[in-house]
Structure 1
Amino acid sequence: MTWRIGVDIGGAFTDLYASNVETGKIEWVKVESSPPNFEEGVIRGFEELESRGVFLKEASQVIHGQTVVINTIITRNGGNVGFITTSGYDILDIQRANRRDVFNFKYRKPTPFVTRYMTEWVKERIDSDKNIYKQLDEQAVKLAAITLLEKGADAIAIGFINSYINPIHEIKAKGIVEQALREHGVTTPLVTISSDLSREWREYERFNTAVLNAYVHPIFVNYLEKLEIALKERGFKGIFYLTLASGGMATSDYVKKFPIITVEGGPISGFMGGIMLSEVLQENNIMVIDGGSTTTKAGLAKNLTPQVNTEYWIEQDDWHAGYPTRVPVLNINEIGTGGTSIVWVDEAGNLQVGPEATGSRPGPACYGMGGHEPTLTDAYVVTGYLNPNYLLGGKLRIHKDLAEKAFADIAKQLNIGVKEAAYGAIVVANENSSNLIRQISMRRGFDPREFTLIAHGGSGPMMAPFIVEDLGIPQIIIPSVQSGVFNAWGMLGLDIKHQLVQTNTISVEEPENILEVINSTFYDLEGKIKAAFRSENIDPDKVEILRYVDMKYEGQAHTVKIPCPSGRLGVEEVEGILKAFHDAHKREYGFSLSDSTVEIVNCDTTGLYKVDRPKIEKQINHGSLQDALLEKRLVFNGSENILMSIYKREQLPSSVTLTGPCIIESDTSTIIVTKDYVATLNEYGDLVIKGGK
C-alpha cells in the first residue's frame, strides 16, 4: 500500500491530493461539493483518482478534513439531544452574565441546543475539592435515560457539576444510560459525558461542549459510516484518519466518539501546510491566508509555533455571544468572504461582500449554473482579473456576460458603471481580508511587517498583493503545490495527536512548594496519553510529549498559555515559566504585573506521533517566458483599463523574474502581481512576490 490521500471538503469544491510514498508521484482532483450529502462528492473524487491510476486498495492512509460538524451546528440540522445534569443546576439556560456589547438593547442570550423539555435532573454532588458530597442516584439516571428516549432523543449528553476534578459520577452515569438504552432497543447508544471532552473548569463551557458533541453525533456518525462503507467497497484496507482542530489527526474510530474535536479540522490543515513549507524555506515568522469559496481563514505562527486555544466559540462576533466549546483549536480567525460570497448594497447605500454565499450550487453567475446574484468571483471576471473564458485549467466554462448582467443592478443602485461596481466589491473584499490579518497580528501584539504571508486557496493569491500593500508585509509566498488543493496536501503531513488538559489551580508564590503537585499532574496526563496511543497500536516510546500551562494573575478570569519544559520540573524551570508568562502577558495585553501573585490553572499535555511529511524538493523548470505567455488582456484597476500580460504558471521557467502589473494563471488559482512588485520562482518552485522599489 503506497498511496496517502488527503481529502478536503469546501463550500463549493471537494479536493483530493494523493502522494505515492515509494515513487513520489502525485495526483490531485477537484470536484463539486455535494451538500448536504457530502460523502457523494468525496466518492466522486475517489472515482476520478481511480481514473488516473490511484486506487484505494493501494492506499495506506486516507486523511479527511470535513465541514460536516460545523455545518450541522450552523444550519441547526443536528440530532435531538437529551441532557442529564445535577439536580437544581440550570447553567445552560443561565449561561454567562457578561455581554460583549453592553449598549446593544436588542441583545438576546443564545438559544441552548437542548431544551428544558429534553433536560432531566438527577441527585448527585461532587464538591470542588473532588470529594463526593451526595452519592449518585443510579435509579434516577436510568429513569432519566428512558424518559429522554421516549421523548425522541437520539443522543444524550451528561454534565455534572465539578466533574472536571472528579468524573466518577459521570462515568458511572454513562454506563447506566448505555445499558438502559440497549435494553430498550438502541443498538449503538450515542452518549457523551463532559469529562471525556474536557477536564477544565467552567461548567457552562464544558457542558455546552458535551451538548454540541451530542448534537452533531448522529449526523456525523452516519456520514462517516457511509464513507467507510464506500471506502471498503473500493478495496481500502488502510487507516482512515480525520483531521483535528488542534492541527493533528486521529483515527475515525476515535473521532466517532468525539466529533466536536474536528470542528475546524479542514482549514487548519492548510495552516499546518504553511508551517511545513516554511520549515524548508527557513521562514521563521509566517502568516497563512486561505481564500476559499465561502470564507477566508488566516493564522499566525511566530518562530513557526502556532498558538493553541482550548476554548473556541462558534458563531461569536461583536453582537452575538456564540457557543463555547472546550476543545483544543489552533488560533485561526475566519471571515465570511470568499469566491462565492454575494455582493450587495446595504440600507445605507454601502457596498458589502458576504457573509452570505451561493456555494457550489447555483454558484456565481459566471458559472452559468443558474446563479443570478453577483459574487466576488463575478467581480474578478467583470474587471478582467479572472480569465473570462474558463477556470480550473479549462474544466469550468466562464460566462462573462452573465457576470456583467449580475452586477447591473448593483451598479444602478450605486449610480456607477458595472466595472466600477465590480472593482468596488474587490476593494471591499480585500479590506475585509486586511482586517482579518490585523486581527491575527496587530491586535495580538505582532507587527505584520515582521512576517511573510503565505497565500493559498482559490482566491488567496488574488487577495494577498492588496493586503501586503495595505499592511507593509515584506513578501508573499505562493506555494508550488496547487493553491486550490493546498489544504488536502497539508493533511499528508499532520501528526497523530492526542491532547489532555487538567484544571488544578496552584499559586506560584513560592515555586518550590508546587513542584510535587505539578509534576504528579503532568505524570498522570502523560500516562493517559500514552495509553491512548497504545490502544491504537502505536509505540508510546515513539510519541513526543509537549507540555503547556495556562497561567493568570490572581483575580483574573482568563489565562495565557505558556510552553513548559519536559521531564521533572525544578525551581529553575518554574521560574523560567513565570518569566515567560510575564512576557507573554505584556505582549498580549500591553502590561505585566511582576509583583502580583501568579496562578497555574491548567496543565496541558499533548502527545504527537510524527508521520513522514510530504517531500518538498527543488525544481528546475525549463522553457522560456515567451512559452508561458498566454495573452495580453485589458484589466480594469479602478480608474482605467490597462493591458496586462497573462502567464501560465506551470510553464514559467525557473530563472524568471516578472515585474508587475501582470497576472499568473495556474490550474486552481489566479495570482495577481501589482504595480511596483516583482515575482520570482525560488528553487522549490514557489512564487515569491516582493516590492520592487
Structure 2
Amino acid sequence: MLLGVDVGGTFTDAALVDGDRVHVAKTPTTPDDQSRGVLRAVADALAAAGATPADVTALRHGMTVATNALLEGRVARTVLCATAGFVDVVELGRQDRPHLYDLARGRVAPLVPPDRRVAVDERCGPEGVLRALTDAEAARVADAVAALEPEAVAVVLLHADRFPAHERALGAALRTRLGPDVHVSLSHAAVGTFREYERAATTEVDAAVSPLVGRYLRRLARRCADGGLPEPEILASSGGVQTLEEAAGRGATTVLSGPAGGAAAATIVAAAAGEPDLLCFDMGGTSCDVLVVQDGRAREVGGGAIAGRPIALPTVDIHTVGAGGGSVAWADPGGALRVGPRSAGARPGPASYGHGGTEPTVTDAHVVLGTLDPDEPLAGGVALDAAAAAAAVGRLAGVLGLEPRACARGILRVADAEMARALRVMTVERGLDPRRFALLAYGGAGGLHAAGLAARLGIRRVLVPRAGGVLSALGLAAAERRSDRARTVLLRGDAITADALAASSPSRPGAAVEVAYDVRYAGQAFELTVRGCPPDPAALRAAFDAAHRERYGFDDPDAPIELVTVRETERVAGPPGTLGTAPPDAGGATVGPAVVRLPGATVVVPAGWRASTDASGTLRLEADDAVPAPAPWEADA
C-alpha cells in the first residue's frame, strides 16, 4: 500500500492506494504541530481500508512548514556571511519595484538584519580567485558568527557558483566552530546558479527555514517509527520526492511542497481522462493554487517566489491567490465587498464549523445559499452550523446595506473573480487560450466553483475526480523520485558545443537524466528554458527560436544566442498512478441545476450543464451550449 499525506492550511488529507482501490481521509490541520494531524489522517485512512501500519510500503508527505514560516516571519535566527562589500545584496535587491505605481509600498525586509551580516575578506571574479581566503580569516569569521549566537548561517560568496572552494573552506570552519546543532547553508550547494541577488536571497531562505523543517521532519519520523510506519519521503517544490534527510538539509526545496502534489496528480488525471491539456485549480480552505498541464505534463520553471522572496530553485509553475473556503469576507474603508487573502484557517475556521469563528467566509456563504447542506457533515466529520453561518454573513450584510442572501452571492462572486484572474494569469497573460483546455478542479472547495469559473473563461469541459477533495495527497503517493542540478556556463556562439550541452554526471541505476537549457539572445537579461532538445547546437538554436516565437510572437534567427544555464534532472519513475474505480452506483447522468456530493468534495452543476461519471469515478461536466451557463450566484436574481 502507498500512502500520501498533504498538509493544507485548513485540512490535512491522506490517500491510501491499494492496487486499483483508493481510500481517503480528511482531518483538521493542527497548526501547533502538523505531525499530530498527519498521524490522525493516516490512522483514518488505514481504518477506512481495514489496514495496519505494517501494510504501508511507502509514505510520501507534502507540507507547509517552510511556507508558513516565511509567510508568518517566524524563522530561525540566521547570520549571513558574504564577500566584503556585498553583505547588503539582499536588502538592495533589484531596481524594479514590486508594485510599480505604489510609491509608498516597501520591499519585504531581509530575513537577516544588518547587525547579523558578517563581511568576509576574500574575492573571486568571473575568471577565478582574486584574493584568497586564508585560514586565519576563516577562523576570524567563525568566531564573529559564534558571538551572534545563530541557529543557522547562510554563506554567499561572490562567484561561488563557479568557484566554490572558498565557501567550502568557510563552511568547514563554521561547522567546526559552531558544532552540529547550527545549520550552515552554502550558496553553491543550495542554488548553484549565477545572479548574486537571487542566489543570496535563496540561500538566506534555505538557512532560515532548514532548522524548522528539520525539527518538524525528525519529530514526524519518530512518530511514524513509533507507529510502525515507514520513514516519510518529502515532496520537493519541483514535484519529485526526496529523502527526509535531504529535505531537512535543504529546507528551501520544500517551500512549495504542498501544491506540487497536485501537479503530480493532475498528470494522472490527464492520462486517465484522455485530456492531455488541463487548466488546474486547487481550491482548499486557505488558498487557491493554479497550474497548467500541457501534453500530459505539468509546466515547470527555474525559480519562483514566496512571500516576496525569490527562490532560485526548480519549481512547478504555480500561481497562488488567497481565495479558499475559509477566506474571510470583509468591507474595505470605501464600502466595497472584499474576500481574502486572510483566512479563518483550521482554528477557529469558518463560522459554520462551530469552533468559535464569527467572521463570514466563502464556506459560510455556501451554507447560507444551500449549496452546502447543513444536514450533510463535511469530510473529517465537520458538522455545519447554519445559524452561525447566517449570523456571520448577516453582520457583514448589515455593514454593506445588503440582504443576507445577496451578500452571500456577492461573496461567491468576488471569490470567483479572484480565482478567474489567477486562471487568466496562467493562460491569457502567457499566450494560451483557456478555451483549448479542460478545467480540472480539486481541493475540498474546487467542485463548488468549477463550472462557474469555466463559464467565465469559455471552457466547456470540467473534470472533478472522485478523490478530488484529497487529490494532492493522491498525487504524492505516485510521485517520482527526483533530484536537480544546475550549472551556469555563460557560453555564446561557437563556444556552445555538443560537449557543453551534454549531461555532466552519470545517472543512478534505474534513473533517467533529462537535460534542459536556459537560453537567451545576446543582450537579453532573462532566459527561456528549452526542454526536450538533443545536445546539438543547431537543434538548440532551432528549438530556442521556436520557443521565443511562441512566447513573444517573434524570433531573431540572425542574432547570436547565449547558453546561460544547463539544468539536469534525474528521475526515477514512481509507482503507477491510479484514481481508483467508480462505485457500482456511479452510472447515469446528472442534469443541472444539481449538487453532487463526492467523498471529501461537493460539486455544483449549474443549469445548462450535465455531469456523468467515467470508469475511474471522475465526474465530467459538459456544457450543453457553446456559451457555458454561469454559476447560480452569478445570476442577477
Judge same fold: TM > 0.5, yes or no.
yes
Q: 2:449 aligns with which of 463, 482, 485?
A: 463
Report the equivalent of 1:39: 35
Partners of 2:401 and 2:419 in 1: how far apart?
Answer: 26
**Unpaired stretches in structure 2, ≥5 consecutive residues:** 626-637
Deviation at 1:50, TM superposition (A): 4.8
Deviation at 1:616, TM superposition (A): 4.3
Partners of 1:101 and 1:155 in 2: how far apart?
Answer: 31
Q: 1:523 aligns with which of 496, 503, 514?
A: 503
- Give identity over the alignment, percent: 25
Deviation at 1:346, TM superposition (A): 1.0
Q: SS where residue 586 of structure 1 aligns?
A: helix
Q: Assess if the C-alpha contact under 8 Å between 1:391 and 1:668 holds in 2.
A: no
**Larger mean Cα displacement after TM superposition, 282-291 or 610-619:** 610-619
Partners of 1:393 and 1:305 in 2: how far apart?
Answer: 30
Report the equivalent of 1:575: 538
**Larger mean Cα displacement after TM superposition, 392-401 or 114-123:** 392-401
- Match runs of 1:250-289 below 5 Å: 250-289=242-281
Q: Which AA in structure 2 matches 1:402?
A: A
Q: SS where residue 353 of structure 1 aligns?
A: strand
**Larger mean Cα displacement after TM superposition, 90-99 or 372-381:** 90-99
Partners of 1:403 and 1:443 in 2: how far apart?
Answer: 37
Q: Which AA in structure 2 matches 1:350?
A: A
Partners of 2:161 and 2:3 in 1: how far apart?
Answer: 38
TM-score calculated relative to the size of structure 2: 0.95
Partners of 2:393 and 2:498 in 1: how far apart?
Answer: 67
- Alignment of 1:563 with 2:539, yes or no, is no
- Alignment of 1:122 with 2:93, yes or no, is no
Q: Assess if the C-alpha contact under 8 Å between 1:10 and 1:67 holds in 2.
A: yes
Q: Which AA in structure 2 matches 1:56?
A: P
Report the equivalent of 1:448: 434
Deviation string, structure 1 residues 48-91 (Cα, Å, up to 9, x no partner)? 34545433333221100000001011111111001111112131
Partners of 1:408 and 1:614 in 2: how far apart?
Answer: 45
Deviation at 1:427, TM superposition (A): 0.7
**Larger mean Cα displacement after TM superposition, 345-354 or 41-50:** 41-50
Q: SS where residue 157 of structure 1 aligns?
A: strand
Report the equivalent of 2:239: 247
Q: SS where residue 523 of structure 1 aligns?
A: coil
Partners of 1:393 and 1:159 in 2: how far apart?
Answer: 46
Deviation string, structure 1 residues 413-433 (Cα, Å, up to 9, x no partner)? 222200000011101111111
Partners of 1:39 and 1:51 in 2: how far apart?
Answer: 18
Deviation at 1:590, TM superposition (A): 3.2
Q: SS where residue 584 of structure 1 aligns?
A: helix
**Larger mean Cα displacement after TM superposition, 5-14 or 593-602:** 593-602
Change (3 A) 1:448 1:112: same
Q: SS where residue 232 of structure 2 aligns?
A: strand
Report the equivalent of 1:591: 554
Deviation at 1:618, TM superposition (A): 5.3
Q: Assess if the C-alpha contact under 8 Å between 1:549 and 1:564 holds in 2.
A: no
Higher relative contact order (CA 8 A, sep 6+): 2
TM-score calculated relative to the size of structure 1: 0.87
Q: 1:473 aligns with which of 459, 469, 480?
A: 459
**Larger mean Cα displacement after TM superposition, 105-114 or 190-199:** 105-114
Q: 2:75 aligns with which of 74, 78, 92?
A: 78
Change (3 A) 1:390 1:230: same
Partners of 2:232 and 2:380 in 1: how far apart?
Answer: 33
Deviation at 1:36, TM superposition (A): 2.6
Change (3 A) 1:54 1:659: same
- Match runs of 1:292-331 below 5 Å: 292-315=284-307, 322-331=308-317
**Unpaired stretches in structure 1, ≥5 consecutive residues:** 316-321, 531-539, 623-651
- Alignment of 1:104 with 2:102, yes or no, is yes
Deviation at 1:173, TM superposition (A): 1.2
Partners of 2:6 and 2:433 in 1: how far apart?
Answer: 31
Q: SS where residue 392 of structure 1 aligns?
A: coil
Change (3 A) 1:26 1:619: closer
Q: 2:415 aligns with which of 426, 429, 450?
A: 429
- Alignment of 1:670 with 2:633, yes or no, is no
Q: Assess if the C-alpha contact under 8 Å between 2:150 and 2:182 holds in 1.
A: no
Partners of 2:28 and 2:73 in 1: how far apart?
Answer: 23
Report the equivalent of 2:593: 661
Partners of 1:356 and 1:147 in 2: how far apart?
Answer: 40
**Larger mean Cα displacement after TM superposition, 83-92 or 361-370:** 83-92
Deviation at 1:583, TM superposition (A): 2.4
Deviation string, structure 1 residues 284-335 (Cα, Å, up to 9, x no partner)? 21111101100001101221232221221112xxxxxx21111111111010
Q: Assess if the C-alpha contact under 8 Å between 1:60 and 1:239 holds in 2.
A: no
Deviation at 1:93, TM superposition (A): 2.4
Partners of 2:529 and 2:450 in 1: how far apart?
Answer: 30
Partners of 1:370 and 1:618 in 2: how far apart?
Answer: 39
Partners of 1:208 and 1:476 in 2: how far apart?
Answer: 39
Q: Which AA in structure 2 matches 1:313?
A: A
Q: Which AA in structure 1 matches 2:257?
A: G
Partners of 2:118 and 2:332 in 1: how far apart?
Answer: 45
Q: Which AA in structure 1 matches 2:213?
A: F
Report the equivalent of 1:642: none
Partners of 2:208 and 2:570 in 1: how far apart?
Answer: 28
Q: 2:141 aligns with which of 122, 129, 144?
A: 144
Q: Assess if the C-alpha contact under 8 Å between 1:389 and 1:400 holds in 2.
A: no
Report the equivalent of 2:207: 214
Q: Which AA in structure 2 matches 1:676?
A: G
Q: SS where residue 114 of structure 2 aligns?
A: coil
Q: Assess if the C-alpha contact under 8 Å between 1:295 and 1:338 holds in 2.
A: yes
Deviation string, structure 1 residues 198-252 (Cα, Å, up to 9, x no partner)? 221101110111111111122111111111111111123x342000110111000
Q: 1:686 aligns with which of 613, 618, 622?
A: 618
Report the equivalent of 2:635: none
Aligned pair count reads: 623
Q: Assess if the C-alpha contact under 8 Å between 1:543 and 1:608 holds in 2.
A: yes
- Alignment of 1:514 with 2:477, yes or no, is no
Deviation at 1:412, TM superposition (A): 1.5
Deviation at 1:382, TM superposition (A): 0.4
Partners of 1:616 and 1:461 in 2: how far apart?
Answer: 17
Partners of 1:666 and 1:564 in 2: how far apart?
Answer: 38
**RMSD value over aligned CA atoms?**
1.7
Change (3 A) 1:603 1:393: closer
Partners of 2:69 and 2:395 in 1: how far apart?
Answer: 34
